[in-house]
Amino acid sequence: MATVVSARVTLGAPFIQRFAGQVRLNIPLMNIGESALQGVQITSITYGSATRQSPPNAPIVLGTLGASSSTTFAGRFSDAGLVDNANLLLTVRGSYVVAGVAYGLTVSRYVRVPAAGSFPADELRASLAVTTTPNYWSYALTNNESAGSGQYIATLSLSVNAPVTVTGTPPGWEADTDGSTYVTWVASDLVPPYPNHVAPGATLSGFQLMSPRTSSESTGASLVAWDHAADDAGKVSADYTLTPSRA
């Protein structure tokens, strides 16, 4: 692979937020050239010396980036030790292909550390842990909402880019998948009191995928709550997780 700093690929100005001990960046990657970039993938995101918390240590595959176009991906970092208004270097590394030739990608820009703000009112406080063994990906979700919030997790959705089979579903939940692009688990409860929803402070494991693939990539995952107080759809948490690699 030829490694270059491409003059035709650059970073746009990220949208940056800081709250709950994290700095979150939505990062535009811009192709300002006249050729489409094939097989674009991101393998590393750094922000000064801050510790990256998301995405996991696996590539984000962005696919084709057309000429004079852009796409966006995200990164999350611990804000421990960061100083308000400090300019830190955001560096993104990866690769792409043009006319059958693979190139390395390194693009950077300085991004100012914002002051800490409040946790978004419409975001679910939740997390998703993943463990991998050869051909298997296992997930455990945790509801980090405070007691009495009324937000109970009822859905876990994963984007996938590989052949998969659901091999684990917790009791009281159901799985749905097309076997190659998505997997969704939903609590089976149809009427209150919804005993299989995951309450604030609780963790639920037992979600598992099997794939003939042995490596991972970072893809989107979402946790969706049901608001027990309103008996209606609740808050959502979205992030990356590890799923089987497409190749």
Written as one letter, the residue type at 26 is N
DSSP string, 76-122: EEE-TT--TT-EEEEEEEEEEEETTEEEEEEEEEEEEPPPP-PPPTT
Written as one letter, the residue type at 222 is S
Domains annotated on the chain, with CATH:
2-112 (2.60.40.1230), 126-244 (2.60.40.2230)
Q: Find out whether 17 and 23 touch, Cβ atoms under 8 Å.
A: yes
What count of Cα atoms within 13 Å lies in the side-chain half-sphere of residue 96?
A: 26
CB atoms within 10 A of CB 113: 20
Q: What is the pLDDT along the chain (247 residues), one digit of tens a residue?
A: 444 434 489 999 999 999 999 999 999 999 999 899 999 999 999 999 999 999 998 899 999 999 999 999 999 999 999 999 999 999 999 999 998 999 999 999 999 999 999 999 999 999 999 999 999 999 999 999 999 999 999 999 999 999 999 999 999 999 999 999 999 999 999 999 999 999 999 999 999 999 999 999 999 999 999 999 999 999 999 999 999 999 8
Residue 85: is it exposed, middle or buried by C-beta count within 10 angstroms (0-12/13-18/19+)? exposed
What is the pLDDT at residue 1? 45
**What size, in residues, is the chain?**
247
Longest dimension (CA), the chain: 59
What is the pLDDT at residue 11? 97
Cα separation, 168 vs 50, in Å, equals: 35
**H or E element: which one contains 132?**
strand 126-133
Cα separation, 81 vs 60, in Å, equals: 27
